[in-house]
Amino acid sequence: MDKEIFKIQEGQDYIELIKLLKAMQLAASGGEAKAMVEDGLVKLNGNTESRKRAKLRAGDEVQCFDQLIVIES
């Protein structure tokens, strides 16, 4: 599994899940990102995540396909 670091922009406390999927180029569009979450393809901290706009903060880990994304501030 590939591990990548995503740094939250300075001045922000979090990034929404679907925005992260787009930023990491796992989804080509917001609609595709929403569908991935709805289809149960995304895990947050080891649990399947169903909230498209879940607020991801430093220390959270997102798993999608063979990618593990660690959120840092």
**Tens digit of pLDDT for each residue in 5-64?**
999 999 999 999 999 999 999 999 999 999 999 999 999 999 999 999 999 999 999 999
Question: pLDDT-derived band of residue 1, with 50, 70 and 90 as boundaries?
Answer: confident
pTM: 0.94
Domain locations along the chain: 2-72
Residues near 61 by beta carbon (within 8 Å), at least 6 away in sequence: 44, 45, 46, 68, 69, 70, 71
Whether 65 shows a pLDDT value over 90: the answer reads yes
pLDDT of residue 50: 97
Which pLDDT belongs to residue 64? 96
Fold of 2-72: 3.10.290
Q: Which of 30, 21, 29 is nearest to 56 (CA)?
A: 21
The tokens describing 23, both together, are 């930023």
